[in-house]
Amino acid sequence: MSYGVEIIDATPKWIEIPFISIYLVYGSRDVLIDTGVKSSSEKVIKILSGRDFEELDYVLTHIHIDHVSGLGYLHERFRGNVYLHPRAVRHVSNPSKLWGSAKEALGEFAELYGEPKAVDEMYLVPVSDGMIVPVGGELMFMYTPGHASHHISIFHKDSNGLFVGDSAGIYIEDYGYVIPTTIYPCRLDLYLSSLRRMRMLKPSILYYAHYGFSEDGWRSLDALYNTLLEWGKAARDLDNVEEFKSYIISNDEVFRGIYSRLDDYPLAKLLVDLAIKGVFEEVNRDPGVVG
């Protein structure tokens, strides 16, 4: 990749499709956007060991296990500041509650990802909305709640790009399609508001955690926003989440093609099902959330 951004595949071996991407951003201080999981940390450390640095800064888009459980293991090898949402600090310095929640939500998949290791609080730097730091060139943090209350996205000035974490969907490059990351439980109103805020930046590139990057930029944000409005309006007229899922499969040809392949990838199917449930439950909580 150009603009001083390098994509690193942090997918562990047991996931058979490219699924977790993290990003090394070069500057006066190099920074890693998200860290992947414990079970891929040795692979990532090997890749990073070929670079010309001994220290490295980190940014966490949020602290769901697939974004953070590799941090403590990477940080032992490459020390540096960790930029994160203020609400995430205590869970990174003491990840016991985070680990318990992950096991409850993901079951065996959490064990396969691996247990996170604590990072000393002296390295943790809480960020404010709109804060700019001179790492990785220049990064600007923005709060983008919805998928998670503590989610941040990161604007990279040099590439006019936005590292979206899980705030803007799962990018399926082969189909040019973005699946919502409205994983139950979520806040759909905040998710939609965050998409609108990100759209105002008019990014040229979106850097997805799942998976890769899209040069459709803000157009991808528009497409996801419209998908969520369509899904939400359909959910208001249906009685249960299974009817809602059947409606989406029947009426969205591209989604139908993607979903038909997921039986071979149980983790991906679980996450997509939870995203559908998230929309359905949110619309039932507040039917006006989609207008």
Mean pLDDT on 148-157: 97
Q: Which two tokens stand for residue 158?
A: 């040099």
Q: How many CB atoms are located within 10 Å of the residue 291 CB?
A: 8
The answer to the question of residue 41 being in a domain is yes
CB burial of 217-251 (b: ≥16 within 10 Å; e: otherwise) equals bbebbeebbebbeebbebbeebeebeebbebbbee
Cβ(267)–Cβ(15) below 8 Å? yes
Tell me, yes or no, whether 80 lies in a domain. yes
Per-residue pLDDT averaged across 76-88, rounded? 97
pLDDT for position 2? 64
The string of pLDDT tens digits covering residues 192-235 is 999 999 999 999 999 999 999 999 999 999 999 999 999 999 99
pLDDT value, residue 54 = 80
Q: Share the mean pLDDT of the chain.
A: 95
The amino acid present at 17, given as its one-letter code, is I
CATH code of the domain covering residue 189? 3.60.15.10
Q: What is the pLDDT of residues 102-122, one digit of tens each?
A: 999 899 999 999 999 999 999
- Please tell me the predicted confidence (pLDDT) of residue 1: 59
Average of per-residue pLDDT across 76-89: 97
Q: Give residue 18's pLDDT.
A: 94
In the numeric block, which tokens belong to residue 68?
Answer: 């953070």
Domain count, the chain: 1
**Would 260 be classed as within a structural domain?**
no
Indicate whether 81 belongs to any domain.
yes
Does residue 279 lie in a domain region? no
> Would you tell me how many other CB atoms lie within 10 Å of the CB of residue 111?
12
- Confirm whether 197 is domain-assigned: yes
pLDDT band at 28 (very low <50, low <70, confident <90, very high): confident
Residue 271 lies in a domain: no
What does the DSSP 8-state code read for residue 17?
S
Does pTM top 0.85 for this prediction? yes
- pLDDT tens by residue, 261-284: 999 999 999 999 999 999 999 999
Look up the domain containing 70 and give its range.
Answer: 5-218
Asked if the structure places residue 138 within a domain, the reply is yes
